[in-house]
Amino acid sequence: MIRLLLIINLTFFIGNSSEAASLKLKPFETDGCTLFIDGTPRQPGLWRSCCVEHDLRYWFGGSKEDMDQTDFRLKACVQNVAGEQWARTIYTGVRAGHYSPIKNKFAWNWGWFTKREKSPLTSEEIKIIQSELRLLRLEQENINMDDFIKVNFPQPKSSLVKSNNLFLAK
């Protein structure tokens, strides 16, 4: 009987510890614009912060739609600081990389300790991500983490409607 209880407890512990490990992120890393330059010869770090934000998104990942949106955000960011030609070049390279047989370690969802499919983030994963993001110090990369969190995890609009100076639930 004692052996049976011990086996049950070990099974429960091992099952829960692997689940806990799957909901843990590896430390964030970035190399700027992976396999590409971070800016022009005259402005060497011109779009580096765009790439670092892109790396942050790839770190915690999400669904395929999230990945597509992340790539579009990179393009928009680069276009804003360097123009359409650079934006198109970088975006095309990133999208082509999705189909390349040569992969680097910064693939979509790379930050999770266990393999994660391209699926929407759960509310528990979002809490973990936001907590980890708040611990990162990326000021030297010109990343405002509060703004990054607001853009990537917008709060739902209030379900209250103002009517005759009263707030009513929708």
- Name the β-bridge partners of 25: 112
Task: Give the whole-angstrom CA distance, residue 107 versus residue 118.
Answer: 11
- Over the stretch 76-128, which tens digit does the pLDDT of each residue have? 999 999 999 999 999 999 999 999 888 888 899 999 999 999 999 999 999 99
Task: Give the whole-angstrom CA distance, residue 22 versus residue 73.
Answer: 28
pTM over cut 0.85: no
Smallest CA-to-CA distance from 108 within 122, 93, 99, 98 is with: 98
**Structure-block tokens of residue 124:** 């528990």
Element (H, E) at 54: helix 48-60
